[in-house]
Structure 1
Amino acid sequence: MFLAGKRALVTGSTSGIGLAIARSLAAEGARLILNGFGDAAVIAELCEELGATHSGADLTDPAQIAAMMDAAGEI
């Protein structure tokens, strides 16, 4: 696994291209934080599937971005 022991935070990763990128990173062993909006149950399933955590940080809010980055440093 190429990314074992590495962390990745993928914005827009609750659907579409971002989710495909997150799945690829997880397949290579990265620990993930997913960021995005959507149905809470679907996001919980994605986190379970990928062994990820989720941040619903609003990327227009610098304080929320800072908090998400702090959390990324702890996974």
Structure 2
Amino acid sequence: MFQPDFLKGKRALVTGSTSGIGLAIARALQEQGADIVLNGFGDADEIASLCEELGATHSGADLTDVSQIE
């Protein structure tokens, strides 16, 4: 069931969200009201466009590297 404000006030970090399935998940969470943090690699201009579209921020941290997570 679609509830547009279900996640209002929550922040979701979605890994691999600059394309493909991760991006689809980020969009779905944004539609549910979550603030989105995109995480992934790709063209900087495309990522900036996605951030604008979703009202999101971006972290390019490699989440397999503990030092980048910190």
State the TM-score, normalized to the length of structure 1: 0.85
- 1:20-39 residue pairs with structure 2 within 5 A? 20-39=24-43
Pick from 34, 48, 53 the counterpart of residue 52 of structure 2: 48
Q: Offset of 1:28 from its aligned partner?
A: 0.8
Q: What amino acid does structure 1 have at the position aligned with 2:27?
A: R
Corresponding position of 2:68: 64
Whole-angstrom distance in 2 between the partners of 1:61 and 1:11: 13
SS at match of 2:67: helix
Q: Offset of 1:65 from its aligned partner?
A: 1.3
Q: 1:15-40: CA deviations, max 9, x gaps?
A: 00000000000011101110000000
Whole-angstrom distance in 1 between the partners of 2:13 and 2:60: 12
Q: Offset of 1:60 from its aligned partner?
A: 2.1
Larger radius of gyration: 2
Two-structure CA RMSD over aligned residues (Å) = 0.6
For structure 2, the residue ranges without an aligned partner over 5 or more in a row are none
List structure 1 runs of 4+ shifted beyond 4 angstroms.
Answer: none
Whole-angstrom distance in 1 between the partners of 2:65 and 2:23: 22
Corresponding position of 1:9: 13
Q: How many residues align?
A: 66
State the TM-score, normalized to the length of structure 2: 0.91
Q: What amino acid does structure 2 have at the position aligned with 1:3?
A: L
Q: What amino acid does structure 1 have at the position aligned with 2:12?
A: A
